[in-house]
Chains A and B, each alone.
Chain A
Amino acid sequence: MRGKDVTLDSVSITYPDGFTAVQPTDLHVEAGEFFSILGPSGCGKTTILRAVSGFIAPSTGRVLIGGDDMVGKGPNQRPTALIFQNLALFPLMPVWENVAFGLEARGLSKRARRARAQELLDLVALGDQGDKRPGELSGGQRQRVAIARALAVEPAVLLLDEPLSALDLKLRQHMRAELRAIQRQTGVTFIYITHDQGEALTMSDRVAVMNQGVIEQVGTADEVYSAPTTAFAASFVGEANRFDGTVQGVSDGLAEIATARGVFRGRNPAGLAAGDGAMLFVRPEAMALGAGENTLSARLMRRDLEGAFVNLFFDFGGQELAVHVTNTGEATWPDGDADVSFGTANAVILPSGPLARTGRELAAQ
């Protein structure tokens, strides 16, 4: 099995009702790469997946797989296999026939199908479950059947649409490792759709952050987490403290932002100029107690022991600041107003823009 690369060449997708789910997008996924598209529900990531698998034709642009234009090719003619969110196992067929279904369509004999299905079931550690119906298996087992069934057709590209979302946390973490291992073993290109940043960051070679039909940033997990390029990416991936303000001055890739509660310095990757509306983002774990390059005075409100970390929540003139410090076991906690600081290199100043909604905002809906 060998992966192929996938290219979206200015692909946009508008539904018949006029809603544009995907704005014109260029994207290149390398052969054999584990590539995730990370975004909130409704951002258009599933639509992209369906365009690659052939269920939707792009309104503009082209989809290329291994350099071949896929225009006019239906899902049954593409070297892709899709793992559906609800898995879509065939309930009336035994597990092995599920796995062998794609081979049946290719005209293999029953004996050859059975043998190949057995190999794949062994690969996903379900070798003795072949004669059961999908309904008799557990959630994690069904998950693995879906993977085996998709791999049976030897796809060059495997497309996964939030396949782990129905599993409980423990199983999900286990399946992450398993998916990664299967991807390495087979060399197939994986395009993985998820709204769970943990999944995207732990499994992927590269991650695309998507919002409202636009891919805002593509990079390695480290890049996306440590060097977000948009306000949305900074607020959606991981936690971040945010300060709104106006750029006051720039120098050497750094910028100074004037906020209602002081002037702070941070990196300026977007090349902002003085006078631009901007947001400064800094991760809770990049904040420290005591004075530093950027110092502010805040009152400790709450302290949550997380284990290895202690999460401190400060009131900074009505705004909540999160500070994560390593739990050394012998720290003393500030009483009343205290200095909190962050390094200039750890803060990033980005153009003002739409933000990811917080959990509280989502819950209020």
Chain B
Amino acid sequence: MTSHRILTLYTWAFLAFMFAPLLLMIVASFNDASPPSVTDWQGLTFKWYEFFWMDTSTIREDPVLRALDRGRFGGCFGNSLYVAAWVVPLSLVLGLAGAVLLTRWRSRFNGVLWWVLLSPMLAPGVVLGISALVFWNRLGVDAGLFTIIAAQVTFIAAYPMLILMARLQRQPVELEEAALDLGATPFRVFRRLTLPYLFPALASAAVIAFMASMENYNTTMFAKGGSCTFATEIGAMARNPNGHPPVINAVGTVIILITVAAATLHTVLARREMR
């Protein structure tokens, strides 16, 4: 066997491990069987998708679907959007501040500062969740959506920071110096030069922060208190001892579609950023 063949085999094995489970999940989302299966084919159905908009009476007739709480599921999804709506702008602002600080403020503390600002991203999510919970609890704030937002921002802000730093490092310092030299205040330099220059990077950082916030489970789990998000609710449904309802497969398939779309968008933005 030539090395070329081994490489080919390895590549196919790699792709199979990556995508076979996803393919199985998608196929099972169209099978009229619960718990989800691809071997026990009970016929093509779309009801695991239609669950989200079908009549209440139809749900009540279905032995699997009637056990699910559609209202709660929608509420948790709404919570996720609400959390992301705060987390994305907050982490963009904090990440931008960190990126400007680390690339434009030359000091011997930069090395230490870099690790301090990056450490939440590297710290275990449970630690962030629990510490946010304990910290805000001491201040008299009950666990809920606010603590989820606080806990998520601590580490999600590092993503925009890294993306914006990479972009800022490519901008020649002379441009900002030239603007200063022409009489602009530092604020005007930032608004007229740095911000327009950063715009594509800001857009892609926003997409990544949004996805990180939506899909976060472990940090959110510890900080959520009695509330729920999309990710924690799916987690709760998946822990069903009788096997999870195929509705989760349907949701997963939609998420894959959205992810592919977002990744495509990100690639397009990144390509524009290269110019």
Contacts and interface: CB of A to CB of B under 8 A. Distances in A.
B111 to A, nearest CB: 16
A101 B184 contact: yes
A217 to B, nearest CB: 29
Given A90-B193, A92-B196, A105-B188, A153 B174 contact: no
A150 B183 CA distance: 11
Contacts of B207: none
B178 interface: yes
Interface residues of A, number: 24
A74 B179 CA distance: 12
A60 interface: no
A86 B184 CA distance: 20
A58 interface: no
A106 B183 contact: yes
Given A86-B172, A86-B174, A101 B181 contact: no
B177 A75 contact: yes
A92 B197 contact: yes
Given A86-B172, A86-B174, A80 B182 contact: no
Instruction: Tell me what chain A mostly uses at the interface: helix, strand, loop, or mixed.
Output: mixed
Given A86-B172, A90-B193, A105 B177 contact: no
Nearest to A55: B177
Contact of B179 (A53, A54, A90, A152): A90
Contacts of B184: 76, 101-102, 104-105
Contact of B185 (A101, A102, A105, A152): A105
B8 to A, nearest CB: 43
B109 to A, nearest CB: 14
B174 A84 contact: yes
Given A88-B172, A88-B174, A92-B197, A82 B179 contact: no
B182 A153 contact: yes
Contact of B183 (A55, A84, A90, A153): A153
Given A76-B182, A88-B177, A92-B193, 8 more contacts: A55-B181, A76-B184, A88-B178, A90-B178, A90-B193, A101-B192, A105-B184, A153-B182
Interface of B: 172, 174-175, 177-185, 188, 192-193, 196-197
6 contacts: A80-B181, A92-B197, A101-B179, A101-B192, A104-B188, A105-B185
Interface of A: 53-55, 74-77, 80-82, 84, 86, 88, 90, 92, 101-102, 104-106, 149-150, 152-153
